């Protein structure tokens, strides 16, 4: 499919529930590709103009925590009966399932489109929805259908009567991206119109052994090589992850949001306690300007104003980024925060984000999630971390 590595899926069933290990497809982020090709400044200008031109006439919900040019991992799902296949971003920073419908033309070229008329389990609601993303607004109508995690040719976890957003218009990032949808994994409180997200629906229906899922991201290789990853629904991932180091309670059960303190690297030390989230749809760390500047300087990185990123020597002798979460110490080693974009160029995988004193100040994306498996305990509203077994 679309020239990408096929998805493997392991489903271990019990009489009433299941554990599903969903092997991911890795694709280098659009951001890295645009920087390599010299096109990222034009994208930033386009994105900023899109944001400033948004209309505020319709009720909207700001969904994803990050711009979708940052993601690197996807998975297969199907929607409807019989199956209609889609490859989607698995996103802990949003809560809705979005796929393009047959009315979608702009930015939907060469995408598979969901045809509700060909599904004999589809229930129309005729209710409109709209979501703001960094790359533009998406809107369409809400529907209800059977959603399955996994493609048609692998074992699947079927989640009946799940809400989905059938999009008539999608963000501009769909045009350049291999993705055909977004599968939100966050809580109902974040979802448009307070609908129940498919994963929460699966838990409510008792389809999983435990109300948890574990994320594991493998190491990134050199440019041109692939990476591995897996989401395990219903259990801890003991194949790729060590014992859980500790859990921390969520401070806001919309995202997977909690507190962290003591961000440091070398000579830079911050004692501030921040609200942070983990996010499977970004390959970077995002944080307050002063903190990111301090970490970058300590690592030996320099600011590139054209691409609005930090460059760093690929062979930089940089120490680990340290932090404390729930009383436990965690580190992100340099091999996880130095991203190689071509033979002689590397990025410091941390970028500043706006922070107005409320909401999450930090987003712990790919560098942290490669270092540690994340255990999303939806039932107890907490998140735990285990060292990734690379």
Segment 327-331 shows an average pLDDT of: 97
Instruction: Report the percent of the chain where pLDDT is more than 70.
Output: 87
Segment 144-149 shows an average pLDDT of: 98
Say whether 314 sits in a helix, a strand or coil: coil
Between 292 and 1, where is the model more confident? 292
Nearest CA-CA partner of 135 in 46, 58, 73, 59 = 46
Say whether 198 sits in a helix, a strand or coil: helix
| Mean of pLDDT over the chain | 87
Judged against a pLDDT cut of 80, whether residue 13 lies above it is answered with no
Question: Sign of dihedral through CA atoms 36, 41, 44, 45?
Answer: negative
Lowest mean pLDDT among 46-55, 114-123, 285-294, 314-323: 46-55
Q: Domains for the chain: give ranges and CATH numbers.
A: 20-52+60-205 (2.40.70.10), 237-388 (2.40.70.10)
Segment 92-120 shows an average pLDDT of: 95
Question: Sign of dihedral through CA atoms 299, 303, 308, 313?
Answer: negative
pLDDT of residue 16: 56
pLDDT of residue 58: 36
Q: Which residue has the tokens 């809107």?
A: 139
Q: Which residue has the tokens 């034009």?
A: 42
pLDDT of residue 133: 74
Judged against a pLDDT cut of 70, whether residue 14 lies above it is answered with no
Cα 27 from Cα 12, distance rounded (Å):
27
Q: Annotated active-site positions, please?
A: 91, 279
**pLDDT class of 181 with cuts at 50, 70, 90:** very high
Rg (CA), the chain: 20
Judged against a pLDDT cut of 60, whether residue 386 lies above it is answered with yes
pLDDT of residue 285: 95
Angle at 52 (CA atoms; ends 50, 57), nearest 5 degrees? 95
Question: What digits encode the pLDDT tens for the residues 201-253?
Answer: 999 999 999 999 999 998 876 555 556 899 999 999 999 999 999 999 999 99
pLDDT of residue 226: 56
């Amino acid at each position: 499919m679309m020239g990408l590595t096929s998805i493997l899926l392991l489903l271990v069933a019990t009489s009433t529930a299941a554990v599903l290990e969903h092997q991911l497809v890795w694709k280098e982020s659009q951001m890295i590709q645009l920087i390599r090709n010299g096109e990222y400044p034009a994208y930033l200008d386009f994105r900023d103009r899109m944001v400033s031109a948004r209309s505020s006439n319709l009720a909207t919900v700001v969904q994803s925590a990050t711009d979708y040019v940052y993601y690197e991992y996807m998975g297969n799902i199907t929607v409807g009966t019989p199956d209609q296949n889609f490859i989607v971003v698995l996103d802990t920073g949003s809560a809705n399932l979005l796929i393009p419908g047959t009315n979608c033309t702009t930015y939907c070229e060469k995408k598979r489109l969901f045809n509700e008329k060909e599904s004999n389990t589809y229930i129309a609601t005729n209710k409109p929805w709209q979501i703001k993303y960094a790359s533009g607004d998406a809107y369409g109508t809400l529907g209800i259908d059977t959603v399955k995690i996994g493609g048609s040719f692998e074992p699947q976890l079927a989640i009946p009567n799940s809400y989905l957003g059938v999009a008539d218009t999608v963000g501009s990032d769909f045009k350049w991206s291999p993705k055909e949808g977004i599968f939100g994994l966050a809580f109902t409180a974040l979802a448009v119109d307070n609908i129940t997200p498919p994963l929460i629906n699966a838990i409510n229906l008792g389809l999983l052994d435990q109300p948890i899922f574990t994320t594991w991201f493998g190491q990134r290789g050199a440019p041109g090589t692939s990476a591995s990853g897996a989401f395990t629904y219903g259990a801890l991932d003991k194949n790729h992850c060590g014992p859980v180091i500790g859990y921390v309670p969520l401070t806001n059960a919309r995202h997977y949001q909690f507190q962290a303190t003591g961000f440091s690297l070398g000579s830079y030390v911050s004692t501030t306690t921040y609200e942070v989230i983990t996010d499977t749809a970004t390959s970077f760390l995002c944080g307050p300007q002063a903190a990111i500047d301090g970490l970058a300087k300590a690592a030996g990185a320099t600011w590139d104003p054209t691409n609005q990123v930090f460059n760093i020597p690929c062979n930089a002798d940089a120490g680990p980024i340290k932090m404390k979460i729930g009383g436990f110490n965690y580190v992100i080693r340099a091999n996880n925060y130095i991203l190689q974009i071509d033979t002689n160029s590397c990025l410091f995988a941390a970028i500043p984000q706006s922070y107005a004193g409320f909401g999450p100040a930090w987003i712990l994306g790919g560098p942290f999630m490669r270092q540690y498996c994340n255990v999303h305990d939806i039932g107890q509203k907490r998140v735990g971390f285990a060292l990734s077994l690379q």
